[in-house]
Amino acid sequence: MVNPALRSMTGYATRTGSHETWTWTWELRSVNARGIDIKLRVPDWVTGLEPEARKRVSAALERGNVSGGLRLGRSGDAAGLVNETALAALLHSVAHVTNAAKAAGVALDAPSALDLLGARGVAEADQAGPVEIAALKTVLLDDLSETLAAFLESRTSEGAALETILSGQLDKLTGSVDQAADLAVQRAETGAARLKTQLTNLLEAAEEVAPDPQRLAQELALLAVKGDVTEEIDRLRAHISAARGLLEKGGPIGRRLDFLCQEFNREANTLCSKSQDTDLTAVGLEIKVTIDQMREQVQNLE
């Protein structure tokens, strides 16, 4: 069984088509979102088109802010079917809205010819009977399916690029964690004597000229436990293994990887706070930087 590919939440696709006297352009684009949010603009006189189009897009996606729609109008051969009165009224309304927006300091994009033709009454769509509209709806939905396939392919292509980046970051993280483990061992070998000297100085400063050996051993053991980073390193390695497993599994793993990045960061923070060593702290900070870079990429995954 082949695992599903990773998909980015960023994607784009456009497709043009025609049927009898009609021409159209489908367009779909998406960006990051915590959930799924779909905004489609389609001519409302094509009965049932909007809910069916929304249903198809929604069924194909897990997450993302998706926008787009359909620009639909008569072909050049049917130009005579334009309702000149309705067009003039629409242009007057567009000019009024544009001027009002300009006065309020808001810049609006100018509508295209297909946008105008898609407005109610301009292309005299009301002349189309129920049979023609039903047939048009069918071909439009078929063409949407093709557009949606291209749209998903663009998200998959972006997902493959993200997978490569994340794999490289996990490799870098593995190297840093291994380095931290080596430094922790070196610190343990040289740190005991240093801690003993420091603790002896503290006890002597407290007027204990001859520190009790049992108490000294207890204090040293306590300090050693507080500074031990073995568990943090083990958990970081476990998180790396889990992240690689998710990448291999594929599919909509963005939320789980994002949670895993939070766990990565928690262990890295603890490692830095317990390190008590300049070199180990520097590696811990490098681990945190890599985790932040990973999370930036994970935010793009579906």
Domain boundaries, the chain: 11-158, 160-298
Q: How far is CA 220 from the centre of its chain?
A: 47
Q: What is the pTM of this model?
A: 0.72
Q: Tell me how far apart the alpha carbons of residues 39 and 26 are, in angstroms, rounded to a whole number.
A: 13
Convert the pLDDT of each residue in 92-107 to its tens digit. Answer: 998 999 999 888 988 8
Highest-pLDDT range among 75-79, 141-145, 193-197: 141-145
Q: What's the pLDDT at 191? A: 58
Q: What's the pLDDT at 126? A: 47
Tell me the H-state helices in 130-210: 130-205
Q: What is the mean pLDDT of the chain?
A: 86
Q: Which of 64-78, 141-155, 203-217 has the lowest mean pLDDT?
A: 203-217
Convert the pLDDT of each residue in 163-200 to its tens digit. Answer: 999 999 999 999 999 999 999 888 766 655 666 676 66
Nearest to 237 by CA among 177, 184, 296, 180: 177
Which own/partner contact pairs does 264-268 have at CB distance under 8 Å and 24+ positions apart? 264/173, 264/236, 264/239, 264/291, 264/294, 265/291, 265/292, 265/295, 267/232, 267/235, 267/236, 267/239, 268/232, 268/236
- Which DSSP category does 301 fall into? B
In the predicted structure, residue 8 carries a pLDDT above the cut 60: yes
The strand pair at 36-41 and 64-74 is best described as: parallel
Q: Which of 154-158, 159-163, 226-230 has the lowest mean pLDDT?
A: 226-230
- Mapped onto helix, strand or coil, the DSSP state of residue 16 is strand
Q: Which residue has the higher pLDDT, 218 or 148?
A: 148
Assign domain 160-298 to a CATH class. mainly alpha
Q: What's the pLDDT at 136? A: 94
Judged on CB neighbours under 10 Å (0-12, 13-18, 19+), 159 is buried
In the predicted structure, residue 213 carries a pLDDT above the cut 70: no
Q: Tell me how far apart the alpha carbons of residues 193 and 119 are, in angstroms, rounded to a whole number.
A: 83
Q: Which residue has the higher pLDDT, 29 or 112?
A: 29
Convert the pLDDT of each residue in 255-271 to its tens digit. Answer: 999 999 999 999 999 99
- Other C-beta atoms within 10 Å of 238: how many? 12
